Amino acid sequence: MLSLKLPQLLQVHQVFWEDGIMSGYRRPTSSALDCVLSSFQMTNETVNIWTHFLPTWYFLWRLLALAGGPGFRAEPYHWPLLVFMLPACLYPFASCCAHTFSSMSPRARHICYFLDYGALSLYSLGCAFPYAAYSMPASWLHGRLHQFFVPAAALNSFLCTGLSCYSRFLELESPGLSKVLRTAAFAYPFLFDNLPLFYRLGLCWGRGHSCGQEALSTSHGYHLFCALLTGFLFASHLPERLAPGRFDYIGHSHQLFHICAVLGTHFQLEAVLADMGSRRAWLATQEPALGLAGTVATLVLAVAGNLLIIAAFTASLLRAPSTCPLLQGGPLEGGTQAKQQ
């Protein structure tokens, strides 16, 4: 009879470690099968895997439910929403795969997260399409910012992927700079994408129900709150920094970060649907900002550009000698031991 043995877990002194996470590490030279099996074993990555694997299917279900509606795909008004839903399904799946297979080797770990960052960058671009189509303030419609909003978001996705991938090369020598670059790489596209919402929020602040089509739904507020909480968790490494070893398996910041990110995407979808419905009659009197040809061209160029950036960083990683500190996946040595002490 075929029997499968669950992989052995390692302690903090046996591997490169995350702040405040003391145990539950997988062997950094695991096989692909061991990686898959580890998702059914309690490790410090198990909750990370499942908190993005399950939401992948939820967003895919929402996508199929929306796309299967009568006449939904045939109507150009709905296309920006469908474009948003594609990377909303992709990014949690890419994250799930990265957390699952990142322990195959040091090189595999970095490449997995390169792809994870690329998916997040495409998600930031995907957010720009419905915001440009449904959420623009009236005074911005057909202005310069509106016209270049989606192309600028595509350029932002290149910056996001490039900076976040580059930050991995600085993790050992300059961990603080690495964290700053990676945080900035994702904070900037978020701030840019949400400029229409921030402007509408400023217009409606204190005006109650007299805001007309500029009013934000409750879902917008929930989305922005979840995004703020997501950024805080990513940057702070709380609560595990306050009690190292206490939250190794359940409750550490990256797990909470995943949950807040998924909740934020859910509320963002609901907010987009609210804007689509409440502003449709008004938007019908306006000319569309980006047609099908422009949408497809922007998406194709963005995907190709991000894949080229990832390929460039991957090639650089593959050319690096195995003695490079970035590729040491075994027990801590040298400077990292000093850090532990």
- CA gap 128, 205 in Å, rounded: 23
Given a cut of 50, whether residue 330 has pLDDT beyond it is: no
Tokens 């595999």 map to which residue?
108
pTM score of the predicted model: 0.90
Q: Give domain status of residue 37, yes or no.
A: yes
With a cut of 80, say whether residue 7 has pLDDT above it. no
Binding residue per annotation — 254?
A: yes
Mean pLDDT (whole number) for 249-277: 97
Residue 167 lies in a domain: yes
pLDDT digits (tens, 9 = 90+) for 161-179: 999 999 999 988 898 999 9
* Location of structure tokens 């994870």: 116
Instruction: Please tell me the total count of domains within the chain.
Output: 1
What's phi and psi for 244, nearest 5 deg? -55, 135
User: Would 11 be classed as within a structural domain?
Assistant: no
Tell me how far apart the alpha carbons of residues 324 and 335 are, in angstroms, rounded to a whole number: 13
Residue 64's pLDDT is: 95
Q: How confident is residue 336, by pLDDT bands cut at 50, 70 and 90?
A: very low
Is cis: bond before 239, omega within 30 of 0? yes
| pLDDT interval class at 305 (50, 70, 90) | very high
* In-domain check, residue 335: no
Token pair belonging to 120 = 């997040």
For 11, the enclosing helix (H) or strand (E) is strand 9-11
Query: Is residue 271 very low, low, confident or very high in pLDDT (cuts 50, 70, 90)?
Result: very high
Q: Confidence class of residue 332 from pLDDT cuts 50, 70 and 90?
A: very low
pLDDT tens figures, 210-230: 677 888 999 999 999 999 999
pLDDT value at position 206?
67
pLDDT at residue number 54: 98
Model pLDDT, residue 37: 95
Structural tokens at position 193? 């994408």
Kindly state the average pLDDT of the residues 113-128: 98
pLDDT at 209 over 70: no
Residue type, 189: P
Q: Which pLDDT band, with edges at 50, 70 and 90, does 341 fall under? A: very low
Residue 273, judged by CB atoms within 10 A of its CB (0-12, 13-18, 19+), counts as middle
Q: What is the CATH number of the domain that holds 175?
A: 1.20.1070
Q: Is residue 332 part of a domain?
A: no
Kindly state whether residue 6 falls inside one of the protein's structural domains.
Answer: no
Which is nearest to 19 in space by CA: 206, 292, 238?
238
Is 13 inside a domain boundary?
Answer: no
Cα 262 to Cα 257: distance, rounded to the nearest angstrom? 9
- Ligand-binding site membership of 99 (annotated): yes
- Whether the CB-CB separation of 39 and 98 falls below 8 Å is answered with no
CA distance 252 to 102: 18
172-204 pLDDT tens trace:
889 899 999 999 999 999 999 999 999 999 988
pLDDT confidence of 12, banded at 50, 70, 90?
very low
Instruction: Supply the mean pLDDT for the chain.
Output: 88
Q: Which domain holds residue 47?
A: 29-205+214-322
Q: What is the structure's pLDDT at 13? A: 39
Mean pLDDT calculated for residue range 259-279: 97
Nearest 5°: phi and psi at 321?
-65, 150
- pLDDT on residue 14: 43
Per-residue pLDDT, 288: 63
Q: Which residue has the higher pLDDT, 29 or 267?
A: 267
Please report, rounded to a whole number, the percentage of residues in the chain having pLDDT higher than 70: 88
CA distance 82 to 105: 36
> Sign of dihedral through CA atoms 180, 186, 188, 191?
negative
d(CA 155, CA 128): 12
Q: 292 falls in which pLDDT band (50, 70, 90)?
A: low
Q: What is the mean pLDDT of residues 29-48?
A: 95
User: How confident is the model at residue 1, as a pLDDT?
Assistant: 42
Is residue 162 assigned to a domain? yes
Res. 335: pLDDT tops 50: no
